[in-house]
Structure 1
Amino acid sequence: MTPPPSTATRPRVEGDREQQLLDATLAVLAEVGYDRLTMDAVATAAKASKATLYRRWTNKAELVVDALGSLKEPPADAVDTGTLRGDLIATFCGTGGMVEPETLASFTSVMTAITTDPEFAAVFRERVLGPKLAVAHQIYVRAKARGEIRADLDLDLLEPALPGIVLHRACVLGDLPTPDLITRVIDEIILPAATRPPAGPTT
């Protein structure tokens, strides 16, 4: 039997066709979630063969992560409005921010996989969450340099707080993200936590 051609000799899937496959992946992901998504289902949705998918992606974890990465993203460098409040509002309410339905859908569709599939979780955290966390870190470091927030503030603790609160409200309470909700969380939780001195020991 003649062995199948190696991936090195197969034509690469790229350009518009690659985006079509990624769009089909997002559609299947939104419909059935990560756990039930299969390469067969994506191939059917994209009117392609599984071989076409495997020319570009070795498994569904890589395919889904690339599909999520193809969604609109915030700029690689955080917007600089001159204030922490302005930077957070611009980032989380702007392009690629949490008010966009695609952003929320992408997170909710992979929630279970993040906790049950270590391979997927590692790739997702590196390639999807990583750039977002880097932008948030840049915002808070810049605010600390401006003297807007406490010098002793634990940035590792605070940086994921805003998306964490918004996602909790969306996924658990059914309170979908809006610019008003995000602004209220910033004004009533994030900024007070970043600027007030830490509580002293109880007596």
Structure 2
Amino acid sequence: MSLRAASRPRVEGEREDEILDATVELLIEAGYDRLTMDAVAKKARASKATLYRRWETKASLVVEALIRAKQSPHIGDHDTGSLRGDLLSTFCGNEGINESATQVMGSVITALSTDPEFAEQFREKFIAPKVAVTHAIYERAQQRGEVAADIDLEVIGPALAGILLHRTFILGIPPDDATIERVVDHVILPAVQHPSCDGPLGRTAASTHPPANKKARNTP
């Protein structure tokens, strides 16, 4: 490394936060595809060289902004002592699924299929930690007996977020805390307490209640 390069100031602290916040603001305004390093530099009042000293590519800058910026969706692991409480505490309110969070997610949806570098970093660094938080919530609930032992946590874990994203981006219905509560109460909680078809309880239920067409064949 040259003496000149070594003497360049590092992008860190409040200056770094300003650049990341500016990146998310531009994502919401223009979307990932139209976002450029030049535009971020202009909005953050920084040189493009400053950005490239810290982030080698647009993908790396955007992923870090999604992880750290104030407007980006953040969830924390809230151990309230119940599955319902954990889910509502995690997904409701300012930290959970809100208007800003859905705008940010909408801005990068197309990039997941068009930019392999971004998609890989996004799933590894942004999505994976959130999946881990949700999985921990369901594991605790399973240990408390709130979730049936044979429930597939890898399937049920993303269900709440998946329903909310479908309503937002496919049906055009923005999420709110009341909707999250309805999904938890009417979909998630009944699902985790219901035995799976392949589990011992599921097989017992199937043998106790034979299919309607089988009963019909035995009817004179």
TM-score, normalisation: structure 1 = 0.90
Contact 2:138 2:157 in 1 (8 A): yes
Structure 2 partner of 1:44: 42
What stretches of structure 1 move > 3 A for 4+ residues in a row?
Answer: 3-6, 199-203
Closer, same or farther in 2 for the Cα pair 1:79/1:58, shift >3 Å?
A: same
Give the aligned residue type for 1:105: Q
Question: Helix, strand or coil: the match of 1:35?
Answer: coil
Structure 2 partner of 1:93: 92
Closer, same or farther in 2 for the Cα pair 1:92/1:175, shift >3 Å?
A: same
Structure 2 partner of 1:128: 126
Structure 2 partner of 1:176: 174
Structure 1 partner of 2:33: 35
The Cα offsets for residues 4-49 of structure 1, whole Å up to 9 and x where unpaired, read as 955x553211111111111111111111101111101111111221
Aligned residues: 197
Give the aligned residue type for 1:143: A
Work out the CA distance in 2 between the residues paired with 1:161 and 1:133: 11
Work out the CA distance in 2 between the residues paired with 1:4 and 1:108: 43
Question: Helix, strand or coil: the match of 1:74?
Answer: coil
RMSD, aligned α-carbons: 1.9
> Considering only CA atoms, is the larger Rg found in Structure 1 or Structure 2?
2
Give the aligned residue type for 1:85: R
Question: Helix, strand or coil: the match of 1:174?
Answer: coil
- Give 1:187 deviation, angstroms: 0.9
Greater displacement, 193-202 / 157-166: 193-202
Work out the CA distance in 1 between the residues paired with 2:50 and 2:143: 49
Work out the CA distance in 1 between the residues paired with 2:138 and 2:21: 33
Work out the CA distance in 2 between the residues paired with 1:71 and 1:38: 17
Question: Helix, strand or coil: the match of 1:124?
Answer: helix
Give the aligned residue type for 2:164: V
Structure 2 partner of 1:84: 83
The Cα offsets for residues 78-129 of structure 1, whole Å up to 9 and x where unpaired, read as 211111111100000044210x222112211100111221111111111111
- Give 1:147 deviation, angstroms: 0.8
Work out the CA distance in 2 between the residues paired with 1:106 and 1:197: 36
Structure 1 partner of 2:75: 74
**Equivalent runs, 1:131-170 vs 2, <5 Å:** 131-170=129-168
Identity between Structure 1 and Structure 2 (%): 55
Structure 2 partner of 1:113: 111
Contact 2:17 2:69 in 1 (8 A): no
**Equivalent runs, 1:179-198 vs 2, <5 Å:** 179-198=177-196
Work out the CA distance in 2 between the residues paired with 1:182 and 1:71: 24
**Equivalent runs, 1:48-59 vs 2, <5 Å:** 48-59=46-57
Give the aligned residue type for 2:75: P
